[in-house]
Amino acid sequence: MDIQKIENIELKYLTVGDYEELKSATLEAYGGVLNSYWKEQHIRDLTAKFPEGQVVIKIDGDIAGCALSIIVDFNSIDDEHTYEDIIAGESFRNHDPDGDVLYGIDVFIKPKYRGLRLGRRLYDYRKEVCENLNLKGIVFGGRMPNYHQHKHLTPKEYFEKVKHKEIHDPVLNFQISNDFHPVRILKGYLEGDTASNEYAVLMEWDNIYYTKPKKKASTVKTIVRLGLIQWQMRSYKGLDDLMQQVEYFIDSVSAYRSDFAVFPEFFNAPLMAEFNHMHEPEAIRELAKFTETIVNKLSQLSISYNINIISGSMPEVVGDKLFNVGYLCRRDGSVERYEKIHVTPDEAKVWGMQNGNKLQTFETDSGKIGILICYDSEFPELSRLLADEGMDILFVPFLTDTQNGYSRVRLCAQARAVENECYVAISGSVGNLPNVSNMDIQYAQSAVFTPCDFSFPSNGIKAEATPNTEMILVADVDLSLLRELHSFGAVKNLKDRRKDFYDVIRINNNK
């Protein structure tokens, strides 16, 4: 077909009035095989039961291709089903308007119109129907028309060679290129299909936008607003004075309807000035005595200001051991704890701080999140474990004294966003504390990083604060873009990992 002679291509719903032309087009597409076409009553039934599932592509008014489908309850279909089981003797009684999967029962392109990528248009239309109707996906039995040439192979071996481009199969290659993946081999699927030796591959496409219907109200969001607090280290008269400043910032970010308020690592360090006459290990243990009170107050603020609060981190004594910990205070009143897994050499040497052993993702009303404290962000294995649990946003509260220390956190955070296909938000402190030993100066530029793909900023920076200035940074992130990235990104860092060659595993499963 000379594409330059085409004046109009349109995709239209199939109607009974198209029947005679459809019959002729079907016979032409299937090589004139008798009984390869649908009867008029079949088309009448299909268009009445599910009109948006039956479409044709017309080129200058001529039917060039067709796609027919029904909706089924996938759990009600046997694993080893046949084509006849699906169409139920051409009565289509398996069509269920309340089903969860679109089942493709026919698709063809007339020979003279092949090569124009019209099949892709039909498949794309089916995907749109799935998304619009909130169906889990598309399934169908994919024929294996070249299998008769390779009967020495099992159907599974044949499919593997097709997938690796060792054998060309026009049907399976096309379906794989359109993001369909195999579920199982179906034996005796289509009676009389000698080219496929009556085998088929059950192919599936997953609708990444599918949401399971809920019986109760849900507040899970796709657009999430982050409020990062770039905290100024300064002297405070005491805990009440410090918490007044904390509430000021929570009030500020909640006024912008932020979903999260994020504080930096050791934001409560100014309270150590009272103990500066002590040795450093003693002073920080005195600071740890404030932690429980601060957490309780933050939990109250999260409820009253309707915002999820990430407390940055604070010292905490458990038994006789000192840890660097933080708390997630959800706006529903629940509280969860996280620990710094890798303390810095300075934390261990000066304060006697111990490595933590608690790593997990946290479910929130604004996505699944992970939290790594400062130095932990420089160890990619931790965030990879969190990504394997489905993390959408990684929060990194940090404290760095020099610009080179800050650069380590920043550059590693950006790498985590790319390799784990997630958002990363870093929040730090600025200023100085001349009356607190080992906490003299701070350098920070809080920021929100993204993967680097077409739906995101090309440099991977969603927003960033002014360096070394007390301020808040508010930024929106779209979780649905992550779902698209996982399946349709220019590269797929998560999916393309060679788990047959290497893996990241937990030794300590303590959560």
Active site residues: 265, 340, 374
Q: Is the dihedral of CA 9, 14, 18, 22 positive or negative?
A: positive
Residues 68 and 92 sit within 8 Å (Cβ to Cβ): no
Q: Which two tokens stand for residue 344?
A: 């810095």
Element (H, E) at 29: helix 19-29
- What DSSP state is assigned to residue 30? T
Q: Which two tokens stand for residue 468?
A: 């070394």
Q: Could you tell me which of 339, 340, 353 has the C-alpha nearest to residue 281? A: 353
- What DSSP state is assigned to residue 379? -
Question: CA 150, CA 129: separation in Å to the nearest integer?
Answer: 36
Question: CA 261, CA 331: separation in Å to the nearest integer?
Answer: 11
Q: Which two tokens stand for residue 168?
A: 């060309």
Q: Which two tokens stand for residue 258?
A: 């932020």
Residues 494 and 387 sit within 8 Å (Cβ to Cβ): yes
Provide the H-helix boundaries in 361-458.
380-388, 403-420
Provide the terminal-to-terminal Cα distance of the chain, rounded to the nearest Å. 62
Q: Which two tokens stand for residue 403?
A: 């610009």
Q: Which two tokens stand for residue 198?
A: 């009556």
Tell how strand 461-464 and strand 429-432 pair up.
Answer: unpaired
Question: CA 159, CA 148: separation in Å to the nearest integer?
Answer: 13
Question: CA 239, CA 289: separation in Å to the nearest integer?
Answer: 11
User: Judging by beta carbons within 10 Å of its beta carbon (0-12, 13-18, 19+), is residue 162 exposed, middle or buried?
Assistant: buried
Q: Is the dihedral of CA 323, 328, 329, 333 positive or negative?
A: negative
**448 beta partners:** 425, 463
Residues 364 and 308 sit within 8 Å (Cβ to Cβ): yes
Unique residue bearing structure tokens 């019959």: 23
Q: Which two tokens stand for residue 366?
A: 């604004």
Diameter of the chain by CA atoms?
Answer: 97
Q: Which region holds residue 35: left if phi is over 0, alpha if psi is between -120 and 50, else beta?
A: left
